[in-house]
């Protein structure tokens, strides 16, 4: 979760104040609750619609207690037969989609307005020319997390440049500390809600397997029903339910792992850019003083 102003490093407050645009949804729990409500609605009125079953069964609420007495006419009806596991799996699926969209806009805003690679290259050129004003203007134009961190470090650079009390080593340490503090302030906003997606990677698959087990239990119950014979209809429904739950769980886990790895790679790329620019600033100060 993102850090608050109370715990944020004081030296990075200016970088914080320059952050603009969408930075993410703070309450992941609220998103999950909304997704759960949506999943239940889809389960009852989508998968549980009367048209998905054979015969006249009425509204979804009218046959919840007697659902096993009806035969699905469509795949959606078979999904509905999965019971309470279905809305849980779909809650996880909707949550992955919601958090993936949220992270897309948050991380895109963190990268800034233009290409991050070009921004880093332009900053390095400005530093080579020892043109700090040009570098600062680039940060003001670029915005985003990288620009905020670089801008805060450049301000500390100028402050140390005018300082006549500290030694060179102390000035370099002060610049490095400012860089670390500004980075520590920005990084939590980039990683926010990613742990939830990472948890769904495993949880989605496990819930799919749980639904599979419930479906197989129903199938074996159908096999033992009657006078030693198996109810082929109930057996087929149980197997279909098991396979549908398995597919839903695997799809949820797969989408979650793709999303998690994609955004983790994006954050790593941004971190590498910060390290590259930070090293250039420190090296420039060391070479020119």
139: in domain: yes
**Are 234 and 211 a contacting pair, CB within 8 Å?**
no
CA atoms within 13 Å, Cβ hemisphere of 219: 16
> Is 120 within the bounds of a domain?
yes
Collapse the DSSP code of 48 into the 3-class scheme (helix H, G, I; strand E, B; otherwise coil) and give the result: coil
What share of the chain has pLDDT > 70, as a percent? 81
- Which of 213, 208, 216 lies closest to 239 in space, CA to CA? 216
**Rounded to whole angstroms, how far apart are CA atoms 286 and 289?**
6
Provide the whole-model pTM: 0.78
Q: Would you tell me the crossing angle of helices 144-162 and 85-111 to the nearest 10 degrees?
A: 40
Q: Report whether 108 contacts 123 (CB < 8 A).
A: no
Is position 116 within any domain?
A: yes
Per residue in 224-235, pLDDT tens?
Answer: 765 555 566 667
- Is 38 inside a domain boundary? no
Look up residue 284 and give its two tokens: 């420039």
Residue that wins the pLDDT comparison between 276 and 70: 276
Retrieve residue 228's tokens. Answer: 């030693």
Is residue 235 included in any domain, yes or no? yes
63-85 average pLDDT score: 71
Q: How far is the C-alpha of 168 from the C-alpha of 20, rounded, in Å?
A: 34
Q: Higher-confidence residue: 92 or 241?
A: 92
Residue 55 zone, left/alpha/beta (φ > 0; ψ -120 to 50; rest) = left
Is position 72 within any domain? no
pLDDT score of 207: 92
What pLDDT was estimated at residue 34? 94
Which token pair is 204? 């989605």
- Domain-embedded: residue 90: yes
Task: Report the pLDDT value the prediction gives residue 1, as an integer from 0 to 100.
Answer: 37
Query: Which tens digit of pLDDT belongs to each residue from 133-192?
Result: 888 888 888 888 888 888 888 888 888 888 888 888 888 898 889 888 888 888 888 888
- For the chain, the domain total comes to 1
Does some domain include residue 49?
no
Domain span at 122: 10-26+86-288
Q: List Cβ neighbours of 183 (8 Å cut-off, separation of 6 or more).
A: 149, 271, 274, 278
- pLDDT, greater one: 103 or 229: 103
**Residue 259 in this model has a pLDDT that exceeds 60:** yes
- What's the pLDDT tens digit per position in 36-72? 999 999 998 888 887 887 766 554 544 444 555 567 7
State pLDDT tens for residues 194-223: 999 999 999 999 999 998 888 888 777 767
**Cα 254 → chain centroid:** 14
């Amino acid at each position: 979760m993102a850090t608050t102003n109370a715990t944020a490093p004081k030296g990075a407050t200016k970088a914080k104040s320059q952050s603009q645009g969408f930075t993410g949804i703070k309450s992941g729990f609220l998103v999950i609750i909304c997704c759960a409500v949506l999943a239940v609605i889809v389960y009852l009125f989508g998968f549980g619609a009367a048209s998905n079953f054979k015969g006249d069964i009425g509204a979804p609420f009218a046959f919840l207690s007697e659902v096993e007495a009806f035969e699905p006419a469509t795949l959606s009806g078979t999904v509905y037969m999965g019971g309470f596991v279905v809305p849980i799996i779909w809650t996880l699926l909707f949550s992955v989609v919601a958090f993936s969209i949220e992270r897309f806009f948050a991380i895109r805003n963190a990268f800034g307005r233009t290409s991050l690679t070009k921004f880093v290259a332009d900053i390095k050129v400005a530093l080579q020319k020892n043109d700090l004003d040009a570098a600062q203007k680039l940060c003001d134009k670029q915005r985003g997390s990288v620009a905020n961190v670089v801008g805060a470090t450049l301000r500390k650079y100028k402050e140390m440049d005018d300082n006549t009390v500290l030694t060179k080593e102390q000035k370099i340490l002060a610049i490095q500390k400012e860089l670390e503090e500004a980075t520590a302030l920005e990084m939590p906003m980039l990683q926010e809600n990613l742990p939830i997606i990472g948890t769904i990677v495993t949880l989605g698959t496990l819930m799919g397997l749980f639904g599979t087990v419930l479906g197989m239990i129903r199938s074996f119950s159908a096999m033992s029903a009657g006078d030693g014979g198996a109810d082929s209809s109930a057996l087929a429904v149980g197997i279909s339910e098991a396979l549908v739950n398995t597919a839903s769980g695997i799809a949820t886990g797969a989408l979650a792992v793709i999303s998690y790895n994609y955004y983790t790679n994006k954050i790593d790329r941004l971190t590498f850019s910060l390290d590259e620019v930070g090293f250039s600033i420190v090296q420039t100060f060391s070479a020119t003083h």
